[in-house]
Chain A
Amino acid sequence: MAKFKLFNEDANKSPLKHLWRHFKSNHSALVGLWVFLLLAILAISAPLIAPYGVNEQNAQALILPPSWDDAGQVEFILGTDGLGRDLLSRLMNGATSTFGLAILAALLTTAIGVVLGVFAGLTRGVKSSVLNHLLDITLAIPSLLLAIVIVAILGPGLMNTVWAIIFALLPQYIHSVRNLVAQELSKDYIVAQRLDGANKWQILKTGILPNIYEHIVVIFTMSLSTAVLDIAALGFLQLGAQAPTAEWGAILAENLSLIYLAPWTVALPGILLFIAILSTNLVGDGLRHALQKRRAS
């Protein structure tokens, strides 16, 4: 038989490439992705590239405005706070404790949530319903409130906050994954695979997971933005990161007394928080739209 030239059009691509094409066409999502990646790199490398130490005090440069102000100095690009600490260095390190730890919390939640969610989705009857309805109770409480309750039990501290956030995010996660799995299970190709003689593990591996992991990424981004906000909120309430730690929420709280004298010390961490959450949401939203578009096409 003659070798055919196969038609290699845009529509003739793998589902993943399709998704990327739809995602790319959404410019705001793409910008969000770049900002997200930049923040992630910053979170990893901040201690190495920050010009000053986190708690290095410069007694001769207290409450210095940013360098573009007439009174500012170029050595302290974003100015200094009430104790003469370089704000740029603190904000960079804040990316590690706020954004980095939020990613860590969201990843851990994903790991635990996917395992439990898949288990809940694959089991039937009493086991599944106990897991589900217990989780329904916790779903009624907002995640921040739940995190505060858990911190109240564990005691304040940054790592405790991470655990609190993991526990607070977990119920939604398990619920979403369970629904995804249950939805997949009713599809014809899963029935077909079962008829081929595949056991539960094989159905999960080749039938369900390849079809839901993109949705899991969407849930991941949503829980990530919640995690960033919760870590910052707990830090601001002084339940999370404690005073000298450079964490955006804690920096905000620390400098709140200086708000009239040095508004940049409050505005800058706020803006960063805003950018971090916005970029995460843009990526998540873009991904969700791309998934919808792919399903429609």
Chain B
Amino acid sequence: MQPILKVQALNKQYKTRDGLFRSRFFSALENVSFCLNKGETLAVIGETGSGKSTLGRILAGAEASDRGQILLQGQIIEDDGKRIVHSKELRLIFQDPMKSLNPSLTIEKILSEILELNTQLNEQQRRDKINETLLTVGLLAEHRNYYAHMFSGGQIQRVALARAIILDPLVLILDEALSSLDPSVRAQTVNLLLSLQRKIGLSYVLITNHLSLVRHMSDSLLILDQGKAIEYGKTSELFSCAQSKQGQRLLSC
């Protein structure tokens, strides 16, 4: 079976000013490669500064890589830092859902704009699609007239999810999206994500530091350390026998 998302030797360097004329490069990602199948979850863990957030941002298209390819369903969408296809099949959910929603617009306006930009639906179809999506994530159609500040923490996460899945994507990138939630809301959201995965066959790239979440949700696991992939394999296998010292240390707790 062809993997839905394939990343080949992704590289990213940042330039930091060091004095007036000298500048130094530091690698945020070095030759990172992985595959993700339909309906599966890849967890990415690593210490702060290991490049896992950079990976998420590059996958979503918020930043460009320096070298390497990203393939979606066998098609190259990013080649050596050039985004060839503006992809609506790869959607990012931000760390703070509240900050990722425009406070001055109603949910309907936010969602409607996304549809306007990416689809040819007319107004009635857009309205139906918005209602349907809001129901899918466990909200009501009436919530479309709400502003972001009117939602509670768990609800706003659902709105962010609705924002991500309204274009029927294939892959969702969750950049620490579950970390800021309290345990009960997190459990709700995780169940919602898993049920969506069963229903629509979504794939997730789960960027987190939460080990029990990784164990619960993910099929495969990628451990990053200073931009390098030090471990990559089935989650269950890695948890029982990680090869590297760093990996053992990260997974032992």
Chain A positions near chain B (C-beta within 8 angstroms): 1, 4, 6, 11-12, 14-15, 187-189, 191-198, 202, 206-207, 210-211
Contact = CB atoms under 8 A, between A and B. Distances in A.
B100 A188 contact: yes
Contacts of A12: 146, 150
A1 B102 contact: no
A220 B99 CA distance: 27
25 contacts: A1-B135, A1-B140, A4-B140, A6-B142, A11-B149, A11-B150, A12-B150, A14-B106, A15-B103, A188-B94, A191-B62, A191-B100, A192-B92, A192-B94, A194-B62, A195-B60, A195-B62, A195-B92, A196-B113, A197-B86, A197-B118, A206-B105, A206-B113, A210-B104, A211-B102
Nearest to B91: A195
B17 to A, nearest CB: 16
B129 interface: no
Given A187-B99, A196-B117, A15 B61 contact: no
A197 B101 contact: no
B101 A196 contact: no
A210 B99 contact: no
Nearest to A196: B114
Interface string B53-85: 000000011100000000000000000000000
A66 B212 CA distance: 84
Q: Tell me whether chain A's interface is mostly helix, strand or loop, or mixed.
A: helix
Interface residues of B, number: 30
B109 interface: yes
Contacts of B86: 197
B101 A189 contact: yes
Contacts of B163: 192
A15 B105 CA distance: 9
A154 to B, nearest CB: 40
Contact of B147 (A14, A187, A193): A14
A12 B145 CA distance: 10
Interface string B219-253: 00000000000000000000000000000000000
A189 B97 CA distance: 9
Given A196-B114, A196-B118, A210 B60 contact: no
B6 interface: no
A188 B104 contact: no
A198 B117 contact: yes
Contacts of B103: 15, 189, 211
B99 to A, nearest CB: 4
Interface in B87-141: 88, 91-92, 94, 96, 99-106, 109, 113-114, 117-118, 135, 140
Nearest to A209: B104
Contacts of B118: 196-197
Contacts of A187: 99
B180 to A, nearest CB: 13
Given A4-B140, A15-B104, A195 B61 contact: yes
Nearest to A194: B62
Nearest to A199: B117
B100 A192 contact: yes
